[in-house]
């Protein structure tokens, strides 16, 4: 597996990481724990060194899973996790909305260290910008944790360009994580240019459009009742039908490249900037192999131009989140 460096940091990671959320949260029933551990360890064997989790995934169960799975490989891998929600440590239930108060960040980090079975978090993101806490205070709290050796690098998730600038002035931001794919290109507006200017890496989550860009979902697909895609406007049957044109485009390119639509979607992301590291998630071994195979696919200038031209003529239908969640992004 090729390596990439996240911006100007010294954070070197595999060109494709592994998003671990779906193994225990969000996309239906949790995986059987031994199977999930085996899948994560298979990723390590295949050269993946970048693993993504968060305290809210579960809550807490995903961090525990990742910590147990990666304990034998701790010196070989980079673990990223996220704080920012108000979670009761005793009941493991969310008490409300966001909480990025400095004192809470420090308590949350101690819990992460225990669950991840480690003495430091390699990359600690603020999961969502908390409008009730100045970003300078958040950056200052993480700076203290870095000085104490409990955290190695600071990151932000779904933050606006001005927020990134303000945080970076207090504590250098190593990476920003936001949704980005051919299915959601808003970061191209002012976030990606800001990251390039400041030397910050970019970590696209949902790089396969929450599974849609794999070509395995159509208007007739039904999801488990616990799958959050049931609440996503872009996943209504009529919107899936309307958005099929984007998958068809990927399929045409994939056929020519002897690849899959998912691999083309990931290869397209890798071709955008050398400091972009997507983190596709999966619960299946063959999908992990497929995703990692994208790193070996080269899209030529002509390929990229063809994708750009065709994609510009496709109007995507439906919001990417329900309104109350969308309001938490881009702050």
CB within 8 Å of 132: residues ≥ 6 apart: 98, 100
CA–CA distance, 230 with 146 (Å, rounded to integer): 39
Sign of CA dihedral 196, 200, 203, 209: negative
Is cis: bond before 286, omega within 30 of 0? no
Identify the bridge partners of residue 256 per DSSP, sorted by sequence position: none
Q: Of 77, 81, 87, give the one whose Cα is nearest residue 46.
A: 77
Contact at 8 Å (CB) between 80 and 55?
A: no
Contact at 8 Å (CB) between 74 and 152?
A: no
Query: Residue 143 has what pLDDT?
Result: 98
Query: Residue 90 has what pLDDT?
Result: 84
Query: Residue 96 has what pLDDT?
Result: 77
Query: What is the phi/psi pair of residue 93, to 5°?
Result: -110, 145
Query: Residue 93 has what pLDDT?
Result: 87
Q: What pLDDT digit, counting tens, does each position of 144-164 carry? A: 999 999 999 999 999 999 999
Query: Residue 89 has what pLDDT?
Result: 85
Query: What is the phi/psi pair of residue 12, to 5°?
Result: -95, 125
pTM above 0.95, yes or no: yes
Q: Of 122, 192, 197, give the one whose Cα is nearest residue 159.
A: 192
Dihedral of the CA atoms 48, 33, 92, 102 (nearest 10)?
-10
Q: Of 122, 198, 211, 190, give the one whose Cα is nearest residue 167.
A: 198
**CA separation, residue 148 to residues 78, 79, 121, 240 (Å):** 18, 18, 12, 48
Q: Of 190, 200, 183, 170, give the one whose Cα is nearest residue 273.
A: 200
> Six-digit token pair at 310?
């065709």
Contact at 8 Å (CB) between 124 and 82?
A: yes
One digit per residue, the tens of pLDDT, for the chain of length 331 reads: 999 999 999 999 999 999 999 999 999 999 999 999 999 999 999 999 999 999 999 999 999 999 999 999 999 999 999 999 999 888 898 887 999 999 999 999 999 999 999 999 999 999 999 999 999 999 999 999 999 999 999 999 999 999 999 999 999 999 999 999 999 999 999 999 999 999 999 999 999 999 999 999 999 999 999 999 999 999 999 999 999 999 999 999 999 999 999 999 999 999 999 999 999 999 999 999 999 999 999 999 999 999 999 999 999 999 999 999 999 999 9
Query: What is the phi/psi pair of residue 131, to 5°?
Result: -65, -15
Contact at 8 Å (CB) between 279 and 18?
A: yes
> Six-digit token pair at 76?
């070989």
Please give the positions annotated as active site.
57
Query: Residue 88 has what pLDDT?
Result: 87
Domains and CATH numbers, the chain: 3-326 (3.20.20.100)
CB within 8 Å of 225: residues ≥ 6 apart: none
> How, if at all, do strands 173-179 and 151-157 pair?
parallel
């Amino acid at each position: 597996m090729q390596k990439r460096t996240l911006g100007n940091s010294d954070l070197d990671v595999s060109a494709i990481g592994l998003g671990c959320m779906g193994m225990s949260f969000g996309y239906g029933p949790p995986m059987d724990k031994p199977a999930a551990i085996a899948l994560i360890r298979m990723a390590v064997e295949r050269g993946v060194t970048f693993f993504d989790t968060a305290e809210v995934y579960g809550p807490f169960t995903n961090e525990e899973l990742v910590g147990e799975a990666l304990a034998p490989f701790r010196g070989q891998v980079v673990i990223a996790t996220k704080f920012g929600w108000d979670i009761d440590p005793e009941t493991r239930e969310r008490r409300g909305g966001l909480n990025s108060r400095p004192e809470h960040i420090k308590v949350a980090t101690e819990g992460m260290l225990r669950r991840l079975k480690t003495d430091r978090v390699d990359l600690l993101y603020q999961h969502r910008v908390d409008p009730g806490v100045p970003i300078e205070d958040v950056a200052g709290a993480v700076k203290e944790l870095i000085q104490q050796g409990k955290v190695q690098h600071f990151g932000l998730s779904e933050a606006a360009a001005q927020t990134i600038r303000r945080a970076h002035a207090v504590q250098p931001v190593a990476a920003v994580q936001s949704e980005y794919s051919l299915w959601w290109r808003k970061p191209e507006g002012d976030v990606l240019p800001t990251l390039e200017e400041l030397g910050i890496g970019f970590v696209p989550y949902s790089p396969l459009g929450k599974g849609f860009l794999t070509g395995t979902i159509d208007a007739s697909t039904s999801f488990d009742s616990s799958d959050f895609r049931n609440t996503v406007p872009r996943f209504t049957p009529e919107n899936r039908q309307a958005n099929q044109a984007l998958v068809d485009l990927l399929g045409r390119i994939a056929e020519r490249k002897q690849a899959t639509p998912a691999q083309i979607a990931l290869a397209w992301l890798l071709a955008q900037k050398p400091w972009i590291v997507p983190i596709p998630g999966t619960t299946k071994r063959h999908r992990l192999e497929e995703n990692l195979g994208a790193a070996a696919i080269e899209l030529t200038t002509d390929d990229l131009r063809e994708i750009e031209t065709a994609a510009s003529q496709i109007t995507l239908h439906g919001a990417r989140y329900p309104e109350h969640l969308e309001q938490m992004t881009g702050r």
